[in-house]
Amino acid sequence: MAGKIQIPDELKQDLPQNKWGKIIGATPIVMTVVATMLAGLASSEMTRAQYDRSAAAQLQSKAGDQWGYYQAKKLRSASARNSLDLLAAAVDITPLTAEVLTNVDRATVAALVKNELPAATPATFDDAINTALADVENSQPESEVAAVLVKIKPAALAEALSAAQAAANAFDDVTKSVNKSVDRLDDALMAGDKNVFRSFSAARLRYTAARYETEARLNQAVASVYELQVRQSNYSAEKHHRRSGKFFYGMLASQMAVIISTFAIAARKRSFLWSIAAAAGAAAVSFSIYVYLYV
């Protein structure tokens, strides 16, 4: 059980012997405790700010990877379309028919003959996330993006990211069998009728261009959600940094209160040691202010 605060008899003579007098007498002790707590809070907020900055850097790296996938797939789509244009300009191409495609499933026939891709279901997000994505895409001011992002919980963004990644992975899964069938047909038809092979090549290029275009859009959604997480982590770091500064100012004010109280006690007791303690505290506060203003 904590003991009661004992006030020296000499100091009691300058304090009213009531509840208010006891509070005034305990001020140096209370201010010391408050200063210690505020110093701990300032350090804690700064640590959280550094953590959020580090998390934002990691998320930015992941976003960069996704944008790299997006650009690569867009380039492959454009390359396939260019190859198709060159082929069409060089020779006459007849439409590919299902009769020449043997031992293939319906999805492959639909992709090559009808130019119909397997179903791709993009991830759906709530209104707040869609608004934030639109603001980032349209290069709105950071203040507007921040105003929207502060209303979105990190868990909601994590769920949106999982949904976007699941949509991209699902499309990859449904196209694997078609891709294998196309590769097998390429080997089988290459040695056959040249007109049939040209028709197949044109159909394959159309399918490849459309597939990469769809994959690019799905990877773009993943990268965009990562970008929102990067901004949210940076905004959180800035918030904790501001809080750390305010706690630091509060700690300085508490220390000043302790120093003033110490000077008062030193003047009352005419104690050399109390004077040294008060001078050391004043020097510490003055040095902190100097570093903040000039260093």
Range of the domain at 117: 19-294
Structural domain includes residue 190 = yes
- Angle of helix 194-269 relative to helix 272-294, nearest 10 degrees, comes to 150
Residues belonging to the chain: 295
Structural domain includes residue 13 = no
- In the prediction, which pLDDT does 2 show? 44
For residues 264 and 26, give the distance between their C-alpha atoms in angstroms, rounded to a whole number. Answer: 13
Task: Name the 3-class secondary structure at 3.
Answer: coil
Token pair for residue 275? 């004077």
Q: What is the chain's pLDDT, residue by residue, as a tens digit (295 residues)?
A: 445 545 555 545 554 555 544 555 566 677 777 778 888 888 888 999 999 999 999 999 999 999 999 999 999 999 999 999 998 888 888 888 888 888 888 999 999 998 889 888 899 999 999 999 999 999 899 889 999 998 999 999 999 999 999 999 999 999 999 999 999 988 888 888 888 899 999 999 999 999 999 999 999 999 999 999 999 999 999 999 988 888 888 787 777 777 776 666 666 655 555 566 666 666 766 766 665 676 4
Structural domain includes residue 161 = yes
Q: Which long-range contacts (CB under 8 A, 24 or more apart) does 110-117 make?
A: 111/178, 111/182, 111/207, 112/182, 112/185, 112/200, 112/203, 112/204, 112/207, 113/203, 115/203, 115/206, 115/207, 115/210, 117/175, 117/207, 117/210, 117/211, 117/214
Tell me the CA distances in angstroms from 288 to 36, 91, 248, 253, 284, one per residue in order. 16, 80, 10, 12, 6
Structural domain includes residue 132 = yes
Structural domain includes residue 243 = yes
Tell me the CA distances in angstroms from 289 to 42, 169, 245, 252, one per residue in order. 16, 55, 13, 9
DSSP H/E element including 220: helix 194-269
Domain count, the chain: 1
Structural domain includes residue 11 = no
Structural domain includes residue 96 = yes
- In the prediction, which pLDDT does 178 show? 92
Structural domain includes residue 250 = yes
